Structure 1
């Protein structure tokens, strides 16, 4: 973390759809220049000023001009802040130089990345540098993968309290969800598939649940690719589109925590199938959202998510925990989650050393508390 910085957080991409929501949240909850010193950054000062006025942020909200294609402007931005919060994706197209700049400068970095092959490349390239400079690089600070990664962390804490130790098996089950995925998520999937077509080694990263676990290879994991009856829910479950990224982040957390949940840890994610409801949201096809597009305010406000985590001990005892969010997953909740993650990293987790982290491994219960207090999430022990 850059101790001499004039800002705690710079929101990079603040004139885009999700970045605007982040800036709006920060302005409404924290104001400007108070406890949290933050600024809006993007390619155009005029556009930033327009967005600042549209979201009702104070006129003295600092504006920083930086362009992903201009290394000097990116380096200058990185040097002015303790943390860069970036919503400018797909990150494999626009994030590599920013990660490199933050790692070199000792500046914290947070994003909404769901691109595991790129994340693996960044870990390989910059983890050692970040450890030396003190930069904390934290990927996947939105719906992928905070509710899932912290949900596993939370249910393991429940297991320790109730059963006397961690459990080697956790199921993540999306019980209900209203609201779609962001245009950035859809664009990231498209970019990942294009990259895999050019570099077959990327396929190995996408298919290996331990691709982000620092070289560790654990036991075989459930595939979650077919519908099945889940006795723990009394419901039919099927594939969940975000399991590919979430499971990798969960296994990286376990590795970063010194395999606190065991080297035999098994985790999978599936979603409850509602045969009478609308079809699940799709990340592909002609109706997929475009980057910079998103749902109306009403759609964001009426969205939600509800996820169950079932922890199973070696002798069959079980604990249950629920994680919910009060806004649509891809925008309303995501913008609050990454905002609170950035504040938590800068304000509550100064002792965390440099390196490339997951939110749960870096901030754990401190981030859960912030999300519950400020961001409309709940973490509840549902064990009967």
Structure 2
């Protein structure tokens, strides 16, 4: 970028559970004196120093002290870097001032947001201003929604090669997954539900699959809320909890890509649970699971052990269906557990991709696919343990 700033990426929230995983990844992958100039940011210099030692980062890894309760410190941080990577959520509680500061400073921003009502608000408040200042604001750069958003993008590009055009319907089906959802995801869900209870407008946003595509409402969408047996999959399917955010991001991507998937595009996302009575029983158990919203859900700052992160994985199938029995299958996989190990790598590579690769993307509020597309896919495959493959 033409503007000279002190850092390429500042990791805000580096002393939290996910933030320190991001800092550890950047330290191991890029060092501190290499091509990527990055810094750790948080409320306490002492805690930053402690975390730097814990993760084995070089002693000259820079610190930035910034506090969500001190807007001046947030703006000063945004002014020093090309990109702010934030793991400090729930974003509806702690993110608005940071988005405002990044937009004002023309600074890029990436987060792990799965909060559509807050994203809807940020698009309304800052979408036009971000275009003016050149700030690229990219929400949902973790397990929600990169594997799904980029999975559909990759499938549609493969469909154009195979059929000469994109397909009208895509099914996302989680085939396998081992790992836990993050404490941040649980906290975001609870904050969103609390906001919906207080404000009926929030509830309407949450119910609308096109809540992130202002001015556009497409075709009626599959509900994805019913337990059904799918003959083509030879498996029962159950609702997938991340579908509520992933579907909205995918429809926003389609809009930002000039509706290249079609104005009548439909998408649904569910989890495969297997055939027979056992598959049906698992589907019912998945559908009735409310643990993420319970008091037993993981708390922000908590997370799985290193062994649990290392042995986690996910495998998602995307099925594209077009006219005249056209059908295409794409698989997306990730190593490490989705909510922490893989997410920390995905958001780190997203921040770097914006600064180093996607330099021609103009200012605005984006989703990962239209902002970075194949450039991000290439980075994730090369560095972050993801695969994207056409299977049939």
8 Å CA contact 1:2–1:81 kept in 2: the answer is: no
RMSD (Å) for aligned C-alpha atoms: 1.2
Q: Measure the CA separation in 2 of the matches of 1:364 and 1:320.
A: 19
State which drifts further: 226-235 or 63-72.
Answer: 226-235
Q: Which segments of 5 or more consecutive residues in structure 1 lack a partner in the other structure?
A: none
Identify the residue that residue 324 of structure 2 maps to in structure 1.
Answer: 315
Cα drift, residue 6 of structure 1: 0.6
Cα drift, residue 2 of structure 1: 7.7
Deviations 1:116-137 (A, max 9, x none): 0000000000011100000000
Q: 1:1-384 maps to which residues of 2 (within 5 A)? A: 3-274=3-274, 275=278, 280=286, 282-383=291-392
Q: Measure the CA separation in 2 of the matches of 1:16 and 1:61.
A: 17
8 Å CA contact 1:2–1:105 kept in 2: the answer is: no
Deviations 1:190-239 (A, max 9, x none): 00011111110011111111100122100100001111112232111010
Q: Measure the CA separation in 1 of the matches of 2:184 and 2:259.
A: 32
Cα drift, residue 286 of structure 1: 2.6
Q: Measure the CA separation in 2 of the matches of 1:348 and 1:234.
A: 41
Deviations 1:19-77 (A, max 9, x none): 00000000000000210000000000000010000000000000000000001111110
Label 1:2 to 1:85 Cα distance change in 2 as closer, same or farther (>3 A). Answer: farther
**SS of the counterpart of 1:283?**
helix
Q: Measure the CA separation in 2 of the matches of 1:89 and 1:286.
A: 18
Q: Measure the CA separation in 2 of the matches of 1:316 and 1:371.
A: 32
Q: Measure the CA separation in 1 of the matches of 2:354 and 2:214.
A: 22
8 Å CA contact 1:214–1:255 kept in 2: the answer is: no
Q: Measure the CA separation in 1 of the matches of 2:134 and 2:232.
A: 43
**SS of the counterpart of 1:273?**
strand
Q: Which segments of 5 or more consecutive residues in structure 2 lack a partner in the other structure?
A: none
Q: Measure the CA separation in 2 of the matches of 1:67 and 1:207.
A: 33
**SS of the counterpart of 1:260?**
coil
Q: Measure the CA separation in 2 of the matches of 1:63 and 1:78.
A: 14
Cα drift, residue 283 of structure 1: 1.4
> What TM-score, normalized by structure 1, do the two folds share?
0.98
8 Å CA contact 1:196–1:203 kept in 2: the answer is: yes
**SS of the counterpart of 1:92?**
helix
**SS of the counterpart of 1:343?**
helix
State which drifts further: 275-284 or 36-45.
Answer: 275-284
Q: Measure the CA separation in 2 of the matches of 1:379 and 1:231.
A: 25
**SS of the counterpart of 2:292?**
coil
Runs of 4+ with deviation above 2 angstroms: 274-282
The alignment of Structure 1 onto Structure 2 pairs a total of residues equal to: 383
